[in-house]
Structure 1
């Protein structure tokens, strides 16, 4: 197949899109390679946006220097929105009405932040997905007295930590019983809650947001579902994201339903089932060990999928899937997740040192995940002991 592919078009200039371009070149692809992004920034790393960039410790999160793209013969087209795809004609349509053709199309359009319906549109309310989102939030943080973070997932917890490290009072609101309950379970979530409370975060779990309290066109506080009103002049909505697939309507490319998490349905190599179309990264619902197609919104997953898809697209041997790995920096702690906590039916806390902890996750007595805070070596040495099921069939 490598000889027949002359023009690969990648829509989405984030980590997954860039990694796919890199892996194609590494695998020997010599044809045209176009990477399209709707932002005006070259591909950049998103994880530092909620941490080092937010605290002012880092200004650039660019993944590659500008000269890299010319050296690798990757045409980078930024500030360009793709509005549709004609899979029969192997062509995409851009916002200006022009069309571009392709031999092979890789979709890596990622996510957009989920918002709370009905909230008034006022200044001081932020979401975090893009570099520009982070820059606006960081500017506001410099004058903020008290911040509210709505949502205790990884991003919400990281932002709460960065705000506290910047000297701002923080209220963290999470509808579930603990932060990270959905990802790690309530038992480990309670240890994460303890960490944030020890750092001075006003953590309120089991409640949500009713509405904003405003003054003119600016936010001044938040009314919660328990009736309390919390003063805040900076509010971050971090309640998850939605896959960017609107432009694929009527394309025939298979999409998962919203109740299934959305995204583009693929096989274990990123093929969509539509000729010449692939999907990788946060937008892609690959077969998953939990027994169904599922999107995985993590940095390491994007790189692994990019390598597998690039090899499959060129007809070369794909690398074996790796053990999933995720990390989150909060205060002076690196929280690491190795394996698949969602598979577990039992959690055992192996060590608990107050801030640092280590937990093992089991399914039918078999180790399927390890989670630790401040236990880098002890987490990673368990990789060889994990026993995960093979990927299930698509569908």
Structure 2
């Protein structure tokens, strides 16, 4: 490592990486900042990939890319190395190995490599019945939007946020939609529990989707086999797997890190085993502010923003700059929309041992339902489902109480 101007590497061109870079710029760190990204695109609004239907046009890819632009990517102090994969890391000697064959030596490193879609089988084998897709990147979304405009039928494996938003989107495009959830009873069960999951499943079926669970779903799951020598029909239906994600940690192997579920960091986003290494976003597993002596890893947009900001400030502090670096105090919140039903979740319902219906009826989600989640009789989470804002004032009061704990 040579002296002179510090060189800061950020692995990952998503919002966590960009926010880390912008935090460094706000701290007026006199350093070169290089952002590495697997994709050819600079940071974009990833949650927006499934939020809206695009009109038929000759260049839908350009329309989607323009719609999802994020401010701040054009800053002249940032060097972007796009379509460049970081394949290995020697954290002791502070050197990265790149897919171009180059080496990159750094003074400080931010790991914001994110996650990739989980798939039911290894490889990219197709089958004679389906065109298989996953959704993570802008390129994925461009392909899927194109196919939804011409597909008559789509099968979605999974019932999480991406799966539910895709189902809504596909119906807007006029597709026949089948959803498969082999492991649970309905959407968001791992967060909100069985009763709300079943209510959401009813809501989705009321909006024209065939929603199968258990053995019925397992029977329709596509187990791709090697079809390299088969001739594909031109009318194969679209099959999208939205069954979770896998942290991109393989390139960090061999450095003595805890990579059991992402990259373990402390409450300041520092990787404890390596000096001047930090992590942020979907890949970071940090001390949970909501539970005692446990770690959490969250894949929400707001989490990526908050942890990216903190990682950038922590890097600035490590380089001797006067940076306000408070420990992680993340307040979890996420919102989505499923067939016009807005679903808002705050706090950490996962750790609850009971739930209490505050307003509404689970059999009439469109009329508004407000639920609080308790652990040892203390509120730890809130969920609000509604087509309007009937109980918004009550929801805001619950949020104030939740934040006060």
Question: How high is the TM-score relative to the length of structure 2?
Answer: 0.84
Distance 1:65 1:286, change over 3 A: closer
Residues 340-394 of structure 1 deviation map (CA, whole Å, 9 limit, x = unaligned): 00111111122234323211111111111110122455433322201687xxxxx
More moved, 202-211 vs 294-303? 202-211
Distance 1:117 1:218, change over 3 A: farther
Aligned to 1:109: 113
Answer yes or no: is 1:326 the counterpart of 2:342: no
Taking the aligned partners of 2:30 and 2:82, their CA distance within structure 1 comes to 22
Shift, 1:164, TM fit: 1.1
More moved, 111-120 vs 276-285? 111-120
> 1:133-172 residue pairs with structure 2 within 5 A?
133-172=140-179
Taking the aligned partners of 1:27 and 1:334, their CA distance within structure 2 comes to 37
Distance 1:65 1:300, change over 3 A: closer
Residues 141-183 of structure 1 deviation map (CA, whole Å, 9 limit, x = unaligned): 1111111110001111111111112211111111211221112
Aligned to 1:38: 38
Residues 319-352 of structure 1 deviation map (CA, whole Å, 9 limit, x = unaligned): 4613211111222222111100011111112223
Figure out how many residues of one structure are paired with residues of the other and give that number. Answer: 367
Taking the aligned partners of 1:306 and 1:164, their CA distance within structure 2 comes to 35
Answer yes or no: is 1:364 the counterpart of 2:376: yes
Taking the aligned partners of 1:13 and 1:282, their CA distance within structure 2 comes to 12
Structure 2 counterpart of 1:129, from 136, 143, 164: 136
Shift, 1:54, TM fit: 6.5
> 1:238-277 residue pairs with structure 2 within 5 A?
238-256=242-260, 262-273=261-272, 274-277=274-277
Shift, 1:292, TM fit: 2.3
More moved, 206-215 vs 314-323? 206-215
**Contact between 2:159 and 2:242, CA under 8 Å: does it hold in 1?**
yes
Taking the aligned partners of 1:35 and 1:334, their CA distance within structure 2 comes to 35
**Contact between 2:44 and 2:70, CA under 8 Å: does it hold in 1?**
yes
Aligned to 1:380: 396
**Contact between 1:55 and 1:138, CA under 8 Å: does it hold in 2?**
no
**Contact between 1:124 and 1:219, CA under 8 Å: does it hold in 2?**
no
Taking the aligned partners of 1:331 and 1:178, their CA distance within structure 2 comes to 15
Taking the aligned partners of 1:143 and 1:278, their CA distance within structure 2 comes to 44
Shift, 1:8, TM fit: 1.3
Taking the aligned partners of 1:388 and 1:109, their CA distance within structure 2 comes to 33
Residues 237-284 of structure 1 deviation map (CA, whole Å, 9 limit, x = unaligned): 01001000111111233312xxxxx21111111111111111111011
Distance 1:8 1:163, change over 3 A: same
Distance 1:335 1:255, change over 3 A: same
> 1:20-59 residue pairs with structure 2 within 5 A?
20-52=20-52, 59=64
Structure 2 counterpart of 1:211, from 191, 209, 222: 222
Answer yes or no: is 1:354 the counterpart of 2:365: yes
Taking the aligned partners of 1:188 and 1:388, their CA distance within structure 2 comes to 26
- Choose between structure 1 and 2: higher helix proportion: 2
SS across alignment from 2:307: helix
CA RMSD of aligned residues (A): 2.4
Taking the aligned partners of 2:72 and 2:279, their CA distance within structure 1 comes to 25
Taking the aligned partners of 1:281 and 1:5, their CA distance within structure 2 comes to 27
Distance 1:334 1:354, change over 3 A: closer
SS across alignment from 1:386: helix
Question: How high is the TM-score relative to the length of structure 1?
Answer: 0.86
Taking the aligned partners of 1:126 and 1:219, their CA distance within structure 2 comes to 16
Gaps of 5+ in 1: 221-231, 257-261, 390-395
Residues 174-221 of structure 1 deviation map (CA, whole Å, 9 limit, x = unaligned): 12112211121111112211221121111112232443599843597x
More moved, 282-291 vs 95-104? 282-291
Taking the aligned partners of 1:55 and 1:184, their CA distance within structure 2 comes to 34
Aligned to 2:320: none
Taking the aligned partners of 2:258 and 2:70, their CA distance within structure 1 comes to 31
Taking the aligned partners of 1:370 and 1:303, their CA distance within structure 2 comes to 22
Taking the aligned partners of 1:149 and 1:378, their CA distance within structure 2 comes to 35
Aligned to 2:17: 17
SS across alignment from 1:322: coil
